[in-house]
Amino acid sequence: MLKISSVAGRKVCVSLIKAIYPVKEETEKIEEFVQQAVAVGILVTTTGIYGTEYQFKHITIQEVLYDRLLFSQKHKIHLMIAKNFENSCAAMQDNYIAIAHHYSSALHFSNGESSAENSGGGTSESIGKPEMTELELAEKCIHYLSESAKVSSNNNVYEAEACLTKALDIVEKHLPTEDDQQKERKRYLAMQLHAQKGSAVTLYDPQTAQDEYLTALELYKHSDGKDMYYTIMQGRQDLFFCIFVF
What is the number of other CB atoms lying within 10 angstroms of the CB of residue 198? 28
| Distance separating alpha carbons of residues 156 and 244, to the nearest angstrom | 24
pLDDT at residue number 107: 94
Computed over every residue of the chain, the mean pLDDT equals 82
**Which one, of 185, 187, 141, lies nearest residue 167 by Cα?**
141
Q: DSSP assignment of 191-226, as one string? A: HHHHHHHHHHHTTT-HHHHHHHHHHHHHHHHT-S-T
Q: Is the pLDDT of residue 90 over 90?
A: no
Q: Is the pLDDT of residue 120 over 80?
A: no
pLDDT at residue number 25: 75
Distance of CA 135 to the CA centre of its chain: 15
Q: Is the pLDDT of residue 111 over 80?
A: no
Q: Is the pLDDT of residue 229 over 80?
A: no
The b-or-e profile of 222-231 (16+ CB within 10 A means b, else e) is ebebeebeeb
pLDDT digits (tens, 9 = 90+) for 55-80: 899 999 999 999 999 999 999 999 99
CA angle at 30 for the pair 25 and 19, rounded to the nearest 5°: 70
The b-or-e profile of 94-126 (16+ CB within 10 A means b, else e) is ebbbbbbbbbbbbbbbbebeeebeeeeebbebe
Residue predicted with more confidence, 229 or 83: 83
Determine the residue type at 74. K
pLDDT digits (tens, 9 = 90+) for 4-52: 889 988 887 788 888 888 777 777 888 888 889 999 999 998 876 666 7
pLDDT digits (tens, 9 = 90+) for 124-144: 444 444 578 899 999 999 999
- pTM over 0.95? The answer is no
pLDDT at residue number 123: 45
Residue predicted with more confidence, 47 or 162: 162
| Distance separating alpha carbons of residues 23 and 159, to the nearest angstrom | 37
| Distance separating alpha carbons of residues 7 and 125, to the nearest angstrom | 14
Type and span of the H or E element at 56:
strand 51-56
Q: Is the pLDDT of residue 176 over 80?
A: yes
| Distance separating alpha carbons of residues 89 and 109, to the nearest angstrom | 24
pLDDT at residue number 144: 95
pLDDT at residue number 118: 41
Q: Is the pLDDT of residue 121 over 80?
A: no
**Structural contact between residues 152 and 162, judged by C-beta atoms closer than 8 angstroms:** no
Average pLDDT over residues 197-210: 89
Per-residue pLDDT band for 240 (boundaries 50, 70, 90) equals low
